Structure 1
Amino acid sequence: MSADQLSVGELLVAAVPMARTLHLDFVEITPERAVVVLPDQSAFHNHVGGPHTGALFTLGESAGGAIVLSAFGDQLARAVPLAVSAEISYHRLAIGAVTATATLGRPAADVVARLDAGERPEFPVAIEIRRADGALTGEMTAIWTLRPNG
């Protein structure tokens, strides 16, 4: 992991109390992909022994935030990244440590071009949530925006 990747993960853990509370591990952060792990922690289990859906949502949203910061960190002087909406579906029981992998749904250059044109661009981030055995347990789509400053 490069110093820039590490700084995004450290920034998120420092700035987002829920990421810190859940002990999220930001294992890969690039402008193309972010991978975040939620360790297995009984304090955050639900009634069936897996991570609570709120913890899974936070995991996915945090992976989305990591890729957005990595892809658009050079735009922070003129715009603030914000989540606009999110939808999540749960497919299988998530047992043990789970991993969220986020990818941008639009090329970053297209989003920046919209910002350059004076717009407030919105763009999707797709997130897959998987168990350690690779089984897909959930999918999430978060819509993000870059809100121009001022």
Structure 2
Amino acid sequence: MTFDAGAFVLQSVPFARTLDIAFDKVEPGLAVARMPDRADLHNHVGGPHAGALFTLAESASGAALLSAFGDQLARATPLAVNAAIRYLKLAMGEVVAEARLQASREEVVARLDAGERPEFEIAVGVRTADGTPVSEMTVTWTLRPNR
């Protein structure tokens, strides 16, 4: 049985379900998530609210993390420690986030093996359905060893 990181995110983070986030692709170190265009998610100028875009990007980063480190959950808890987002252009319509692990899985696991609490980044690009970039996010994650 394989670990379904996208399903795990949606199961364990109810807010992601509230926004109707869905995962198109999840593979080791990569996740692609989408959020539909819904009027109740709009801001004052008719696009997705900044908080909704943040949640989409953070959810995609979580799935990318879990796709790379899901086998480590018995001994470590993933936690976001920092996130920075830059809004580039007003998003209109459905939006898609693509998250990529920026670290070597082997290096992160080796640090965990050494008893450390590794930190690493996941970069996320958010675009409209037609490919127009609308925001960029970097999430710094850690794997906190379970005691």
Partner of 1:54: 51
Query: Cα deviation per residue 1:93-135 (whole Å; 9 max; x = unaligned)?
Result: 1100000000011111111011111100000000000011211
Is residue 11 from structure 1 mapped to residue 20 from structure 2 by the alignment? Answer: no
* Aligned residue among 17, 20, 23 for 1:20: 17
2:88 aligned with 1:71, yes or no? no
Q: Distance in 2 between matches of 1:90 and 1:4?
A: 35
Displacement after TM superposition at 1:4 (Å):
3.5
Picking from 91, 96, 99, the partner of 2:96 is: 99
Task: Please report how far the alpha carbon of residue 17 of structure 1 lies from its aligned counterpart in structure 2 after TM superposition.
Answer: 1.3
Number of residue-to-residue matches in the alignment: 147
* Identity over aligned pairs, percent: 57
Q: In structure 2, what is the equivalent of residue 41 of structure 1? A: 38
TM-score (normalizing by structure 2)? 0.96
Q: d(CA) in 2 for partners of 1:13 and 1:32?
A: 17
1:80 matches 2:106: no
1:27, 1:54 → 2: CA distance?
21
Q: Kindly report structure 1 stretches of 4+ aligned residues shifted beyond 3 Å.
A: none
Return the alpha-carbon distance in structure 1 between the equivalents of residues 111 and 9 of structure 2. 26
Cα RMSD (Å): 1.1
Unaligned runs of at least 5 residues, structure 2: none
